[in-house]
Amino acid sequence: MTAHIGQHNSSKALNGKRLVIKVGSSLVTNGGQGVHMASIHAWASQIATLTAQGCEVVLVSSGAIAEGLKRLGWAKRPKEINELQAAAAVGQMGLVHAYEIGFAAHGMTCAQVLLTHADLADRERYLNARSTLTTLMHHKVVPIINENDTVVTDEIRFGDNDTLGALVTNLVEADALVILTDQVGLFDSDPRKNPNARFIHEDTAGNPELEKMAGGAGSSVGTGGMITKILAAKRAARSGAATVIASGREPDVLVRLMQGESVGTFLKAPMGRLAARKQWMADHLKMKGAVLLDAGAAVALRAKKGSLLPIGVTGAQGQFQRGDVVACLSPEGEEVARGLVNYSAAEVNKIAKQPTSAIESILGYLDEPELIHRDNMVVLS
Ligand SMILES: Nc1ncnc2c1ncn2[C@@H]1O[C@H](COP(=O)(O)OP(=O)(O)O)[C@@H](O)[C@H]1O
Ligand SMILES: N[C@@H](CCC(=O)OP(=O)(O)O)C(=O)O
């Protein structure tokens, strides 16, 4: 199925099938009381419905620290990072146990994925994480992501899972990021402090006015508050994804959203997926070299006919590693496309002109069947 988020306003409609859903600590642990099984069952049931309709879902779940504090009997959240890390290690067990039971009850399998900022900053690890997540989704397994709290130190912590949700949205190029929290959405000021706060139904991600409206966390359990959600929406929009901020307690919130109902705050992305991806590649990634296309591959890439395979390449130029951005040059030397390459320059020279089936026997291993996957490529001419 192609789902519709924001269909209530046809000019703002978003057609999508890949979703990243983030659930906050306060929701998951019912304000710090411990994993809230009823909520987990409700989300698992909705995600099972969406999956049956053809959607792909990644769940980013907070709550490890809050659940760990509960299990350890610590009434007060400690300040020391090692204590928080210990609590997270204890609580993460409770989270995955609950998700395992919740998803199994709806006939689904889930998987635990713990990530750090460094995993996504390093291009090779970025590609590996991406390929693991897409493989899980392909098998209809729901990845349950959290920050790897036990290994990160203060400086490299995402600090909040809203940011992690946005980075994962960019990573898997999701159509939308849905942030479920303990409020019905974004207000023009913190509704806990201002009873007259006005609800924001819709706006554009990245609008600086939104950042002025958002305050910090409202509970002792959550960490980021609304500001990290607004910034996450801005970040998610960089890969063209819209963001919805809604209440995780709203009955059938995910299913209703995907049917196009207006629930929560809808923050549309100012740029479409392709334009956003082109800009990201142009702005953020320095080209390290090139792969040389044969005439047939140049025609196929221009026609946007899939991924670049080794058989269409005559060799490599420059020094590059797996995960670097390279130009794809036509036999006339024109840049046809650029993308994140799955093999180093030395490897490309070995597997050039060969069928995919020969990669393993030539290199002794097979990282990916494609040289550049079409999802990691932008066609320029
Ligand atoms: N402008 C705003 N609109 C809505 N909520 C806001 C706003 N500013 C601050 N908040 C607070 O942000 C809280 C949600 O963030 P947080 O506690 O970090 O939750 P989560 O655990 O879901 O990430 C709300 O409970 C609310 O008190
Ligand atoms: N990794 C931490 C996430 C903390 C966090 O970002 O919480 P929240 O603001 O509720 O999304 C945990 O699981 O406790």
Tens of pLDDT along 52-109? 999 999 999 999 999 999 999 999 989 888 899 999 999 999 999 999 999 999 999 9
Share of the chain above pLDDT 70, in %: 88
From residue 266, give the alpha-carbon distance in Å to each of 37, 43, 72, 242, 256.
27, 20, 38, 7, 13
Note the pLDDT of residue 2: 46
Q: What residue ranges of the chain are covered by domains with CATH 3.40.1160.10?
A: 3-277
Note the pLDDT of residue 276: 73
pLDDT band at 154 (very low <50, low <70, confident <90, very high): low
Q: pLDDT per residue over 4-27, tens digit each?
A: 555 444 333 335 689 999 999 999
From residue 362, give the alpha-carbon distance in Å to each of 217, 315, 351, 355, 358.
54, 15, 7, 11, 6
Give 235 Cα–ligand 2 centroid separation in angstroms: 18
Lowest mean pLDDT among 114-123, 195-204, 328-337: 114-123
AA letter at 188: D
Ligand 1 pocket, residue 150 CB under 6 Å? no
Q: What residue ranges of the chain are covered by domains with CATH 2.30.130.10?
A: 285-379
161 is in an annotated binding site: yes
Q: Which residues contact 187 (CB under 8 A, 6 or more apart)?
A: 194, 197, 198, 199, 200, 213
344 is in an annotated binding site: no
Note the pLDDT of residue 309: 96
149 is in an annotated binding site: yes
Whole-model pTM?
Answer: 0.82
296 is in an annotated binding site: no
213 is in an annotated binding site: no
Give 173 Cα–ligand 2 centroid separation in angstroms: 22
Taking CA atoms only, the protein residue closest to ligand 2 atom 3 is 62
Q: What is the mean pLDDT of the chain?
A: 88
Ligand 2 pocket, residue 182 CB under 6 Å? no
Which atom of ligand 1 is the closest one to the Cα of 180? 22
Q: pLDDT per residue over 250-275, tens digit each?
A: 999 999 999 999 999 999 999 877 77
Q: Are strands 176-181 and 141-147 parallel, antiparallel or unpaired?
A: unpaired
The CATH fold assigned to 285-379 is: 2.30.130
Ramachandran region, residue 73 (left: φ > 0; alpha: ψ -120 to 50; beta: rest): left
CA angle, residues 50, 54, 60, in degrees to nearest 5: 50
Which burial class, exposed, middle or buried, applies to 260 when counting CB atoms under 10 A from its CB (0-12, 13-18, 19+)?
Answer: middle
3-277 — its CATH code?
3.40.1160.10
**Rounded-to-integer distance, Cα 74 and Cα 201, Å:** 39
Give 192 Cα–ligand 1 centroid separation in angstroms: 9
- Residue to mutate (ligand 1; options 183, 229, 244, 250; most atoms within 8 A of CB): 183
**Over 90: is that where the pLDDT of 224 sits?**
no
The candidate with the shortest Cα–Cα distance to 217, out of 31, 80, 22, is 31
Ligand 2 pocket, residue 35 CB under 6 Å? no
Ligand 1 pocket, residue 240 CB under 6 Å? no
Give 103 Cα–ligand 1 centroid separation in angstroms: 27
Which atom of ligand 2 is the closest one to the Cα of 158? 6
Closest listed ligand to the CA of 265: 1
- Residue to mutate (ligand 1; options 220, 226, 227; most atoms within 8 A of CB): 226
CA angle, residues 128, 134, 139, in degrees to nearest 5: 130
Give 161 Cα–ligand 1 centroid separation in angstroms: 13
The average pLDDT across 124-133 equals 88
